[in-house]
Amino acid sequence: MSPKKLIALSAVVVVLFGFILLFERKMPTTEERSRKGDLYWDIPQENVQRIEIVRGAETLEFQRAGEVGWRMLRPEKYPADSFAVGSVVTELAEMRRAAGEEPADAKPADYGFDKPAAKATIVWNDSGEPKNVKTRVVEFGATVPGTDVVAARVEGSPKILFVPSSVLESLKKNPDDFESREVFGSAASDAARLEVLRGRGKLGFVKKNGAWWLAEPMSDYADAAEVDRFTGALAGLRAREFQHGAQDLAALGLDPPLFHVALTGPKNAVTAVDFGATRSDGNTLYARRDGQVMTVDHDIVDELSKEAEAFRSRTLLGFRRSDVAGIDAVFPKASYALAQKDGGWTAGGKPILAASADDVLTALLDLRSRDFLEESQAQGLGPATATVTIRMASGGPWVLTLYARGAERIARVTPRPGAFAVDPDSADKLEEAFRKATSPTPTAAATPAGKPTAGKSAKP
């Protein structure tokens, strides 16, 4: 093949590759062409910002709240059910054709447009241009007899559209169907702070470095499993019935409320709910969020009524292994100093096995309280029998101090309040863990010359 033909063929290949790269890869697939062929229009759903539905004298309005959430603005301001609103958005943004030919000379009155059954307004913006807002208003008329088709038209256009009647059915749903029944929802799952007000008392939790701490009525390390179970109960709480119209809040126990729960989630967003009196059925109680009164399962009262002690951790120490920078321990006859740097451990400046240091951390984290003691019960403890200081890479240290009082063993933990009754052998177990971790690694002893090795006979 001559060089000229080779160059020409190469140029054709380059042009074809460029066409595929720039054009054909952007062309819709067969499935996409089939789907889009059934659509009157296709508005990017993620760009839809507002939906308004008018049916008779009633108006429903929804505003996008965040990336996936929606909020009802009318007839009441309340979080919306994202799935219910999302379904309407899908139907309006991707308006499908129904079977049948659109008549060219149809009169609006023949299809019920003199008094539309519903009117929907969809507001969106172009991707990358949030200020370029677009609006489309769609009117829905009468259902075509004997079919699952309803007549529709874009406001201002004479063209009659035939769309599935399911679109109109979605627009005519009861307002309750669009309200979120999740009382707290994901706010409880992602909470960084939780407060429960009950009368003059207050129960508060705050998350520090990924761990839950009691903040009210005392500052103490919290039992993570108990707090997670509590927040899980709040996350799963759902509205049974919505109570509309004017309500006597005092009669419902909501003014003032028996319980007030405030959850602080990501970006400091606060979700607050009031809980009131038990309903006459005995199975539900009244609750109120964002001005909306509802009923919820009565079981939540058991969680809201718990005292702080139920949430105090019986595990004495709450540090993370990976955050420990060093451990200093003082016992009556020995002292130990362990340090961690770059993943390696040393004791008194000499390397030790990481597994041995991990055994010490396990022994510390396994310490548990048998009982909580008030400050008044921990007076006159005398000299300490053991003190362990766990130094953290960031933040203050954890300091464990053990005391002997007769047959009892008492522990104090900084930064926790009060004192704790612990097992009598707690100090002994800790000292044993430190002793094992810092003992020299045993090495095989040399075999004396001339002495036969086990399993072998000596030469004559």
| Contacts of residue 409, Cβ cutoff 8 Å, sequence gap at least 6 | 402, 403, 421, 422, 423, 424, 426, 427
Is it the case that residue 434 has pLDDT exceeding 80? yes
pTM for the whole structure: 0.76
Q: Is the peptide bond before 415 cis (omega within 30 degrees of 0)?
A: yes
8 band by pLDDT with thresholds 50, 70 and 90: low
Is it the case that residue 19 has pLDDT exceeding 60? no
According to the model, what pLDDT value does residue 158 have?
85
Task: Reduce the secondary structure of 93-118 to three states and give it as a string.
Answer: HCCECCCCCCCCCCCHHHHCCCCCCE
CA distances from residue 4 to 1, 12, 215, 347, 377 in whole angstroms, order as listed: 8, 13, 83, 79, 101
Task: Provide, rounded to the nearest whole percent, the portion of the chain with pLDDT above 90.
Answer: 66
Choice between 196 and 454, residue whose per-residue pLDDT is larger: 196
Q: Is the peptide bond before 75 cis (omega within 30 degrees of 0)?
A: yes
CA 284 to centroid of chain Cα atoms: 26
CA distances from residue 60 to 14, 86, 174 in whole angstroms, order as listed: 56, 14, 10
The model's pLDDT over 23-78, given as tens digits with 9 standing for 90+, comes to 344 434 445 444 455 889 999 999 999 999 999 999 999 999 877 689 999 998 99
Measured distance CA(283)–CA(290) in Å, rounded: 23
Is it the case that residue 442 has pLDDT exceeding 50? yes
325 band by pLDDT with thresholds 50, 70 and 90: very high
Task: Provide, rounded to the nearest whole percent, the portion of the chain with pLDDT above 70.
Answer: 85
Measured distance CA(455)–CA(460) in Å, rounded: 16
pLDDT, mean of residues 396-425: 93
286 band by pLDDT with thresholds 50, 70 and 90: very high
Q: Are the CB atoms for 278 and 221 separated by under 8 Å?
A: no
With b for 16 or more beta-carbon neighbours within 10 A and e for fewer, the 419-438 pattern comes to bbbbeeebbeebbebbeebb
Q: Of 16, 150, 135, 47, which Cα lies nearest the Cα of 96?
A: 150
Is it the case that residue 16 has pLDDT exceeding 50? yes
The model's pLDDT over 289-305, given as tens digits with 9 standing for 90+, comes to 999 999 999 999 999 99
According to the model, what pLDDT value does residue 102 have?
57
Is it the case that residue 182 has pLDDT exceeding 90? yes
**Cα dihedral 221, 225, 229, 235 sign:** positive
The model's pLDDT over 112-154, given as tens digits with 9 standing for 90+, comes to 888 899 999 999 998 767 788 999 999 999 988 888 999 999 9
| Contacts of residue 389, Cβ cutoff 8 Å, sequence gap at least 6 | 327, 328, 329, 397, 398, 399, 400
According to the model, what pLDDT value does residue 29 have?
47
The encoded tokens of residue 345 equal 């451990």
Give 211's strand partners. 208
According to the model, what pLDDT value does residue 372 have?
94
DSSP label of 187: H
Is it the case that residue 277 has pLDDT exceeding 80? yes
**Range of lowest pLDDT (15-29, 169-183, 263-277):** 15-29
According to the model, what pLDDT value does residue 190 have?
83
pLDDT, mean of residues 191-207: 93
According to the model, what pLDDT value does residue 3 have?
65
Is it the case that residue 107 has pLDDT exceeding 50? yes
Sort residue 395 into left (φ over 0), alpha (ψ -120 to 50) or beta. left
Phi, psi of 378 (to 5 degrees): -110, 20
| Contacts of residue 286, Cβ cutoff 8 Å, sequence gap at least 6 | 243, 252, 253, 254, 275, 276, 277, 279, 293, 294, 295
35 HSE (CA, 13 A, CB side): 7
pLDDT, mean of residues 408-419: 93
Give 79's strand partners. 71
CA 146 to centroid of chain Cα atoms: 48
| Contacts of residue 26, Cβ cutoff 8 Å, sequence gap at least 6 | none
Mean pLDDT estimate for the chain: 86
Q: Which long-range contacts (CB under 8 A, 24 or more apart) does 333-336 make?
A: 334/431, 334/434, 334/435, 336/434, 336/437, 336/438
The encoded tokens of residue 145 equal 């007899």
Is it the case that residue 173 has pLDDT exceeding 70? yes
Is it the case that residue 448 has pLDDT exceeding 60? no
pLDDT, mean of residues 392-409: 92
Phi, psi of 160 (to 5 degrees): -90, 130
Is it the case that residue 306 has pLDDT exceeding 80? yes
According to the model, what pLDDT value does residue 7 have?
67
pLDDT, mean of residues 75-84: 92
Measured distance CA(58)–CA(2) in Å, rounded: 79
Sort residue 428 into left (φ over 0), alpha (ψ -120 to 50) or beta. alpha
Is it the case that residue 218 has pLDDT exceeding 60? yes
**Range of lowest pLDDT (15-19, 197-201, 426-430):** 15-19
Give all domains of the chain, ordered by start, each with its CATH number: 30-178 (2.60.40), 186-311 (no CATH), 321-438 (2.60.40)
According to the model, what pLDDT value does residue 199 have?
84
